[in-house]
Amino acid sequence: MYILGIETSCDETAAAVVQDGSVILSSKVSSQIEVHHRYGGVVPELASRKHIEAIVPVVEGAIRDSGIKTSQINAIAATRGPGLVGALLVGFSFAKSYAYALGIPLIGVNHLEGHINSVFLEPEAPPFPFVALLVSGGHTALYYVTSHTAIELMGQTRDDAVGEAFDKVAKLLGLGYPGGGVIDKLSKEGNPDKIAFTRPYLNKSDFDFSFSGIKTAVGHYVGKHQSEYKARMADIAAGFQAAVVEVLAYKLIKAAIKKGCGHIAVVGGVAANSGLRHKVRTDAAARGLKVHIPSVQLCGDNAAMIAAAGYHYLKAGIDAKLTDDVFSRAKKPIQEFSNS
């Protein structure tokens, strides 16, 4: 079965063709980073306009690269939320009209379920059940995943998402937007033990996270060391990253032990972080757990993961109606959105 996936929840216009929820035939991502860079963050109105410009060429390119004919596409899966409403509307409305014109099913995919399904695009997919850590610019959460459509929330951030913390710290260090990749790179030149930041929520018994305090702590450090902080940027970045990574890896492994799972996954834009990838792999190996982290290009927003999730929704008999609307925030456990 061939699914055309479409993703426009934030600042990437993406389309992909995926076979049977696991084989990527094509995947195109058109990034808007250059547009938003000068504003230090995503400007929603500009994002919507750029999606409108990019959606047709990106979809056409994905179909062309896939080597299949348009008439062979079995269904269209598009991100329905959470994300920027104006941005989501471009991809979801496009998907509605295209599915209607082709006479094929439309599937509205939860972006977070898309990220979780990214692990099934890799050769060694995890068996169910497994525990997944989702770390992105908008979300940070731990899930107990028992099937493609049964995903239980175990804990989440009470304030900033971890990617947001990376971006805000990069901004206050004057490193530009988005900041995750820059901090990751800079950390490699620094000493993570030189400037120790407290590990937020490490000793709380639940699976929730908090990242706004550590961002403030970095801000205080910079404020107190105005004249010398520029010379210590790599140590600040390394200290911040080490603190964040330690909490994420610790809670992920604790969650897997609690649920008796032998397999864990890390997904979302921040899963590209080299420190996080290394720490999770090292700590999991010490506990005998098997780790599943997608290749870097599948960590950030892409449409292959949306097509993969869409395939499993369709197999479970879940499709969307032309009257369905997009949604900006996930207020309920994510699987409830699949059925609404």
Nearest approach, Cβ of residue 237 and ligand KG4 (Å): 10
Placement of tokens 């959105």 in the chain: 337
Smaller CB separation from ligand KG4, 6 or 104? 6
Instruction: Annotate 94-129 with DSSP letters as a single string.
Output: HHHHHHHHHT--EEEEEHHHHHHHGGGGSSSPPPSS
Smaller CB separation from ligand KG4, 30 or 136? 136
Tell me if 272 contacts ligand KG4 by CB under 6 A.
yes
Residue at 318: amino acid letter:
I
Residues 55-114 that bind ligand KG4 (CB under 6 A): none
Tell me if 8 contacts Zn ion by CB under 5 A.
no
Tell me if 136 contacts ligand KG4 by CB under 6 A.
yes
Q: Are 302 and 12 in contact (CB under 8 A)?
A: yes
Binder of residue 200, out of ligand KG4, Zn ion, none (CB less than 5 to 8 A by kind): none
Q: Are 86 and 45 in contact (CB under 8 A)?
A: yes
What are the b/e assignments for 314-335, b being 16+ CB within 10 Å? beeebbbeeeeebbeebeeebb
**Peptide bond preceding 123: is omega within 30 degrees of 0, i.e. cis?**
no
Nearest approach, Cβ of residue 73 and Zn ion (Å): 24
Number of residues that bind ligand KG4 (CB under 6 A): 19
Site string for ligand KG4, 286-315 (x = CB under 6 A): --------------xx--------------
Residues 129-158 that bind Zn ion (CB under 5 A): 136
Nearest approach, Cβ of residue 185 and ligand KG4 (Å): 8
Placement of tokens 């599937």 in the chain: 107
Tell me if 12 contacts Zn ion by CB under 5 A.
no
Nearest approach, Cβ of residue 137 and ligand KG4 (Å): 3
- Which run of H or E residues covers position 33? helix 33-37
Residues 225 and 327: their CA atoms lie apart, in Å, by 43
- Pick from 36, 301, 305, 311: which binds Zn ion (CB under 5 A)? 301
Q: Are 128 and 99 in contact (CB under 8 A)?
A: no
Tell me if 13 contacts Zn ion by CB under 5 A.
no
Site string for ligand KG4, 163-202 (x = CB under 6 A): x--xx----------xxxx--x------------------
| Of 39, 78, 35, 81, the residue nearest 58 (C-alpha) | 78
Q: Tell me which residues touch Zn ion (CB under 5 A).
A: 136, 301
Interface contacts to ligand KG4, rule CB under 6 A: 10, 136-138, 163, 166-167, 178-181, 184, 268-270, 272-273, 300-301
